[in-house]
Every structure is written in structure tokens, then in C-alpha cells.
Structure 1
């Protein structure tokens, strides 16, 4: 049972944790080594009350990376370690801001009238043209264009009303 859970977690998060580690160390073999160690240590030391496995994996990966560079500090000048730490902190902050924007956008999409939501989903996530959407929804392309415009305007208003800067 635990082996299956480990396999599922690894399949689900390995790519994003690898990319995170690679962005920190800029070395694919080191990132791969740290990735393997991340999953081993994360599962062996997971607190019983921890509910967010993804966040735990990021925390363990980050700590392993900085521990590795502390051990190798004579090979890496102090200024470079500080630059790496600043870059990592900036990436974490950017990730948090992006997640917040995505959460707010998801809420805004759910507030839209069903037809408008469908049009935007088909247009942006399905990659369909307005003509294709019109054929699917049995509407005119002009009507699709108008509803798409109105939906985007409503999304913008929702985001601005919730103090999210869109500039």
C-alpha cells in the first residue's frame, strides 16, 4: 500500500520538484540526485499532522539544496550562495503570487454565467476559434465574440474589485 502511495506521489510531483531544484542549482545531474533524496527524506520525516504533501516536498527539496551548498561552500563563493538564496526566495514569492492570482481567477470564472464560462474555457484552454465555438454552441460567431468580450470584462472587474492589480 505505502509503495503505491510513494509511486503516485513521485509520478505526480517529480517533474515540478525536479524543475524547482534545477532552477536552483542549474545542474541536471545534481537536480536529479537531490530529487531522489527529496522523496526519500520527505517520506521518512513527514510529520503526522502535515496535510500538504506538495508543500512538504518543496520544503525538503529546498533544504537539501541549501545543505548541499553549505557542505560545498569552499567551492562556491559566498556571493554566489547569497545570489542563489535571493533567486530562490524570489522564485518562491513569485510562485505564491501566481497561485493567489490563479485562485482568484478560478473564483472569478465560477462567478460567470455558464455560457460565458464555457466560451472562455473553449477559447483559452481548448484553443478553439470563435467560429468553432459558435458551431459547437449553435451560436453566431459574432455572438461568441460579444459574450467572450463581456466575460473578460467581468473577470477584469472581479479581479479589480478584489484588489488584484492587473497592470
Structure 2
């Protein structure tokens, strides 16, 4: 790809990718490292068309984060139980009090549920895109998303799923 195209892709997607990775790893420095490495790998491996670049970048970053977790576990560190959703990613979506309630409820969900909800509602990914990132069928994503929403509703004080 041309350097102008690469620069444009970086400027367009860096902040979104950073917020996504920050929501996974909870550490700004680690998130920046993962996003930087993710852009490098995505630039080298995406096959010519920038249309699918963002989704490829998210997949690369997610895999790098999982690699980081495996290394931490192998080195004696523990894998985090909770993966937070940064309040910055939620601001403007809900009023401040609702924001805190949602943040708390999201943290009580499993990492898989939290990730799907972040992708769909805050990242704007379609069912098809999430299926591609997860490597599962669209039907499986729909089912998982339905269940994640039900569990979130329950955490927010709604009915049990």
C-alpha cells in the first residue's frame, strides 16, 4: 500500500483501535504497544484493499492481546478476571449516573459477553463482522449477543435471563 494510504488509515482508525484495546487490557501503555504492533502487522498482512482494514486491524489487535495474556500467564502472572470498559468510551452515550451503572454492570459480565457488547454497541460492528472476528457463525453471534444482553439487563437490575 502507498504511504499516503497507510497514513490515512492510521489517522482514521488509531483512536478507535486504541479505545478497543484499552477496553481489553486496562493499561494505557500496553494498549498503545498492542495497537502499534497491530498496525504494523495489519499493514503487512492486509491484502490490498483498505475497505476491510479496520476489521482486520481489530482482529490482529485482539490476537496480540490474547498473546500478551498467554505470556503473562506463562511468566507466572494471572489472567485478569475482569476486562473494563473505559468510561471515555461510554461518555456521551448515557448520562453520568447511568454511565456508572452501566460501567459497573459491564465489569461484572464475562470477558466474552463484554467484548461482544462493546463491539456491537460501542464499536458499531455488524453481526457478520463479529462472526468474522470470532471465527464463528452469524447464528452463534446472534445467540451470544442475545444472552449477553439478557445477562447485562439482569446485572442492571432487570429480570433474570
Instruction: Give the alignment's TM-score, normalised by structure 1.
Output: 0.50
Unaligned runs of 5+ in 1: 102-167
Matched with 1:65 is 65
- Count, aligned residues: 99
Question: Who wins on radius of gyration, i.e. which is larger?
Answer: 1
Q: Post-superposition, which runs of at least 4 consecutive aligned residues in structure 1 deviate over 3 A?
A: 47-51, 82-86, 97-101
**Structure that is richer in helix per residue:** 1
Structure 2 CA distance, aligned partners of 1:35 and 1:23?
Answer: 12
Matched with 2:77 is 76
1:96 and 2:120 matched: yes
RMSD: 2.9
Alignment of 1:70-149 (within 5 A): 70-73=70-73, 74-78=75-79, 80=80, 83-84=82-83, 86-96=110-120, 99=124
Q: Which has the higher contact order (CA 8 A, sep 6+)?
A: 2
**Maintained 8 Å contact 1:24/1:88:** no
Matched with 2:38 is 38
Unaligned runs of 5+ in 2: 84-108, 127-161
CA, structure 1 residues 87+52, in 2 after alignment: closer, same or farther (shift >3 Å)? same
Structure 2 CA distance, aligned partners of 1:51 and 1:31?
Answer: 24
CA, structure 1 residues 88+72, in 2 after alignment: closer, same or farther (shift >3 Å)? same
Matched with 2:27 is 27
Instruction: Give the alignment's TM-score, normalised by structure 2.
Output: 0.52
